């Protein structure tokens, strides 16, 4: 498997579960780091649990379309794989070069894609894409819309919808606590008196316009009672969002928290009463999955999501949905959860169960292994 996503240590458990499948010898080729809007993400851990990990130099680090591994051809010649899983989009240079190397060695190849919008790319990316679609033995896509995109572009091979990574339910798990009550007690000179416990709303992700955080702030402005919102992440929209909170006169209830590595976000989720993903579609973007929803559900946190992209399919019947961009509708959903502890408890239970049924690393590894088996049996 060739994947820059695996610089994140929390994702390595998928490799552990995959390597545990029968008659599978797994090698992961990963870069020493990957650069994106959060900065340089350095590889977290290099010792494989039942698999080999090769740290390979990367050229054009941070360039999504043009990065590639200059030593990949040499590594594949040494490994002599039967199958090469290229965890990249079909139109990327890294995918094209890996696909070409695999063909020279007589290995079958599988690509991965999140792409959920129909796009036409200029040369050379159009040529990379065409080559991949002509020679891939199978594809794995992270959402339903992506399947439609690649069928419309002419790919006729097997396509399976499997998220790129899941969660470890023994790490992302509910905290033993009781937040069903709307009051708590505090020390006071006159003794213990009940006070309103704040209803804690969370968001985790990039601070950019398409994520709809301004819609969340507008919705919270209409919410009564004691509440606070914790916005975890980073991005260019933070100053605008802070100014909006000031205009809405809710700035004292809004906290901007710095981004954390995935493995360190468990305590953040566990402290929430609800996580909201209020994404809205743009002409060049819509939500491809919404991993934070799965993380929160695994932690026993109710979730609310918009109708943008894959969000409703991820949530299913385990959370609440509102029409994207509609702050009043989101406010209604928040109010329902704020004043109904039984509903919060039920959605927390459903969300955790949905993760156990569909989104654990073990589940995703098993489904990925089934793709490998079908490819090799067909060969």
CA distance 130 to 272: 45
pLDDT in tens, the chain (379 residues): 999 999 988 889 999 999 999 999 999 999 999 998 778 999 987 777 899 999 999 999 999 999 999 999 999 999 999 999 999 999 999 999 999 999 999 999 999 999 999 999 999 999 999 999 999 999 999 999 999 999 999 999 999 999 999 999 999 999 875 554 443 433 333 344 344 579 999 999 999 999 999 999 999 999 999 999 999 999 999 999 999 999 999 999 999 999 888 778 999 999 999 999 999 999 999 999 999 999 999 999 999 999 999 999 999 999 999 999 999 999 999 999 999 999 999 999 999 999 999 999 999 999 999 999 999 999 7
Please state the domain extents for the chain. 5-166+360-378, 183-358
| Same fold: 5-166+360-378 with 183-358 | yes
Diameter of the chain measured on Cα atoms: 81
Whole-number Å distance between alpha carbons of 115 and 344: 33
Nearest to 81 by CA among 53, 111, 54, 103: 103
Is the alpha carbon torsion for 72, 75, 77, 79 positive or negative? negative
What burial class does residue 64 get, using C-beta atoms within 10 Å of its C-beta: 0-12 exposed, 13-18 middle, 19+ buried? middle
Helices (H), 107-259: 125-135, 144-152, 213-221, 238-247
Domain 183-358 falls under CATH 3.40.50.2000: yes
CATH class of the domain whose range is 5-166+360-378: alpha beta
């Amino acid at each position: 498997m060739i994947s820059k996503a695996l610089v994140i240590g929390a994702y390595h458990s998928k490799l552990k579960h995959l390597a545990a499948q029968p008659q599978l010898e797994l090698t992961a080729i990963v870069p020493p780091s990957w650069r994106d809007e959060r900065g340089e993400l350095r590889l977290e851990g290099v010792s494989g649990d039942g698999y080999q990990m090769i740290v390979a130099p990367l050229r054009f680090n941070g360039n999504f379309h043009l990065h590639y591994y200059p030593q990949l051809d040499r590594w594949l010649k040494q490994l002599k794989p039967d199958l090469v899983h290229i965890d990249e989009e079909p139109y990327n240079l890294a995918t094209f070069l890996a696909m070409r190397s695999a063909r020279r060695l007589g290995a079958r190849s599988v690509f991965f894609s999140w792409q959920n919008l129909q796009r036409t790319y200029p040369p050379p990316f159009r040529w990379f894409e065409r080559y991949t679609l002509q020679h891939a033995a199978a594809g794995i896509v992270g959402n339903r819309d992506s399947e439609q995109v690649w069928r419309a572009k002419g790919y006729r091979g097997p396509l399976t919808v499997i998220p790129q990574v899941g969660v470890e339910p023994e790490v992302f798990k509910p905290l033993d606590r009781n937040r069903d009550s709307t009051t708590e007690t505090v020390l006071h000179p006159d003794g213990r008196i009940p006070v309103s416990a704040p209803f804690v709303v969370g968001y985790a992700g990039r601070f950019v316009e398409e994520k709809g955080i301004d819609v969340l702030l507008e919705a919270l402005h209409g919410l009564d009672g004691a509440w606070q919102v914790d916005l975890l992440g980073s991005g260019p929209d933070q100053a605008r969002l802070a100014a909006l909170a000031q205009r809405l006169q809710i700035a004292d209830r809004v906290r901007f928290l710095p981004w954390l590595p995935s493995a360190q976000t468990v305590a953040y989720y566990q402290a929430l009463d609800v996580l909201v993903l209020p994404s809205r579609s743009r002409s060049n973007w819509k939500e491809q999955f919404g991993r934070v929803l799965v993380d929160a559900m695994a932690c026993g946190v109710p979730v609310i999501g918009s109708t943008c992209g894959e969000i409703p399919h991820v949530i299913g019947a385990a959370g609440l949905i509102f029409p994207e961009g509609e702050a009043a509708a989101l406010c209604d959903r928040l109010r329902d959860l704020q004043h109904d502890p039984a509903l919060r408890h039920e959605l927390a239970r459903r969300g955790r169960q949905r993760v156990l049924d569909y989104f654990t690393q073990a589940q995703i590894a098993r489904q990925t292994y089934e793709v490998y088996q079908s490819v090799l049996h067909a060969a």
